Homo-oligomer: A and B are copies of this chain.
């Protein structure tokens, strides 16, 4: 955590403090408290100090683990297992005891707590500009290292996925099935020609995702939303993919693990094709590789997220592919933004999109152009980079190769 930056940005707000009511599932809470608690707890930033209020169950751990100046527990406010209103009474006392009469809260903070504090005379203001998110967007060297380490695990997982695809047999090409095995032959006969096979059984999106996630666990990371999508499924950027994979068509593999130790994320996408892609898919891949390079070239301090997005869009638009810039309603072409910040959240500030502001050293962003159309499928390539003083460093060390 960059405490100087925190003090400056939160100090600029027109309230006495910044209040979080959230569990470890909230990135702001993890960042400001430095504490992993499974149930919601309070963190108050005021006068340059961080104060925690936790249940008795979390007290011992919070005192040793939290990055806080003070840690209090419910019993310090004579609260046991009382009702809702008594709990809010405790919250109000915790805040006012610090001399705080007004607090900023993030837009997604809980309305129940906000309303209850207002009823108790505390002014609660929504921090619409997301000051804490802006603080979090600029990473320290330690945070960058955490993301880099997660990306190493990510690359191991991507290698495991690529190997499964590369080693797959293809139904109908004479090599399918268990070598010499009757069962394998039967399975091959039962599936459509072109289906990828492993040990004579169809190789599914789920099976590849499982291999990715097991590899991530073995490398200290977790993820349960892996995207392994081929064919028309790949034309929907949020489709996670399901069922048998096929040869000769693009397969998007998008992996965004979180380190269990640091809780920082990595993110990478590659698109693979087993066999021979058709010319349209090949052209899309080449275009997307050029769009990735153009966008990466544009990443430097002072460049806007909009300019980076424009660099990718221009490659596609010059080739006649629709983008949201040329057609806001298009459902094919380049139908998402070029990238997003990443850290304790997998999606955080800054954005690489229309209207996005200037990049700063320490911003860590994904760069992920892609093309989508159910008639062709989908192609996406994604690297992870950190903005440096004089450009950027690519944190991704995985080759870009289509045919496996």
Contacts and interface: CB of A to CB of B under 8 A. Distances in A.
Interface of A: 25, 37-40, 56-58, 60-61, 75, 80-81, 83-84, 105-115, 124, 126, 128, 210, 213-214, 217-218, 222, 224-225, 236-239, 258, 260, 324, 328-329, 331, 335-336, 347, 353-355
* Nearest 5 CB-CB pairings of A with B: A107-B112, A222-B224, A111-B114, A111-B111, A108-B110
Contact of A111 (B58, B126, B214, B347): B126
Given A25-B25, A75-B328, A112-B126, 7 more contacts: A56-B335, A57-B237, A61-B239, A111-B114, A114-B115, A115-B126, A224-B258
B112 A37 contact: no
Contacts of A354: 81
Contacts of A237: 57
B217 A336 contact: no
B218 A214 contact: yes
A61 to B, nearest CB: 6
B112 A57 contact: no
A231 to B, nearest CB: 15
Contacts of A328: 75, 80
Nearest to A107: B112
B61 A236 contact: yes
A5 B205 CA distance: 37
B111 A128 contact: no
A107 B22 CA distance: 12
Contacts of A331: 56, 60
Contacts of A239: 61
A237 B61 CA distance: 10
B222 A213 contact: yes
A81 B324 contact: yes
B329 A75 contact: yes
Contacts of A60: 236, 331
Nearest to A106: B112
